[in-house]
Amino acid sequence: MNSSQPLEEEYGWSISAGQAGNRIDKFIAEQLEASSVSRTQVQDWIKSGAALVNARMVKTNYKLSSDDEISLQIPVSEETDIKPEAIPLDIVYEDGDVIVINKVRGMVVHPAPGHRSGTVVNALMHHCKDLSGINGLLRPGIVHRIDKDTTGLIMAAKNDLAHRSLAEQLKEHSVTRKYIALAHGNIPHDTGTIDAPIGRDASDRKLFAVTDRNSKTAITHFIVLERIVDYTLLELQLETGRTHQIRVHMKYIGYPLAGDPVYGRSKTVMLGGQALHAAVLGFTHPRSGERLQFEAALPDDFEHVLNSLRTR
């Protein structure tokens, strides 16, 4: 594992005319209010160069101008107690460069506040002799992630060569990622594309929403597989990979995912989480150049819900 400086989180903001005139330390503290970040902490980041304006260091009292671009990279504390744990993994594929696992519901991908153990990373650290170090001490080997209660395929890199290759493929949208999901309502179109930018929810910074403000392009393609009572079973393919993308997009078009405790409906199927499964994962092997593709069957609880709906 290399010793590159790990990053806990990256943020970026484009300043609008209405936000111009604010001090940068006050602005960032307000944007991160949900994370209980103090203004003093923000000022330390600005002084250290972790927060930049238009790619340049500024003083803590810098007054923002319209169209300023702020970037913030929050460094992780070097103190970490992340330990290997003998947690069973459903390994779909493994070689000296890459490992693909079928993640179970309820398992967090990497350690974070409140989840220091029981994660995919803890399990991988026990199973693998080494993992790539590009993402730092808390995310060794992690190239992409899926939500805690989303099941299915996720790949990890065992060395930096593999990590760089897989990360570049994700950036170029050449990784195949197909999901199976159950949504509320009967979607009338057999196929469709949701092209709507996603950013932080202005009313709750812990959530995400379709918004034009400080957002990034997000594109999801879908195919209707089956309409069951007042639900729709879908295959969705990601073109981009924003946080909570499918969940946010389905809510945006009026067909939220069944079982989604955050973006869904109060009356829904009981799954212990959103009905979302990463069913297909394909990529070019970083060393051999061979195109690999893997599939994972729906978990038993998802199948049980479908069978129950079909027999209504």
* Residues recognised as catalytic: 147
Q: Please spell the DSSP secondary structure of the chain, one letter per residue.
A: ---PPPEEEEEEEE--GGGTT-BHHHHHHHHTGGGT--HHHHHHHHHHTSEEETTB---TTPBP-TT-EEEEEEEPPS------------EEEE-SSEEEEEEPTT--SS-BTTBSSSSHHHHHHHH-S----TT-SSSTTBS----TT-EEEEEEESSHHHHHHHHHHHHTT-SEEEEEEEEES--S-SEEEEE--EEEETTEEEEEEE-SSS-B--EEEEEEEEEETTEEEEEEEESS--TTHHHHHHHHTT-PBTT-TTTS-SS---SSS-SEEEEEEEEE-TTT--EEEEE-PPPHHHHHHHHHHHT-
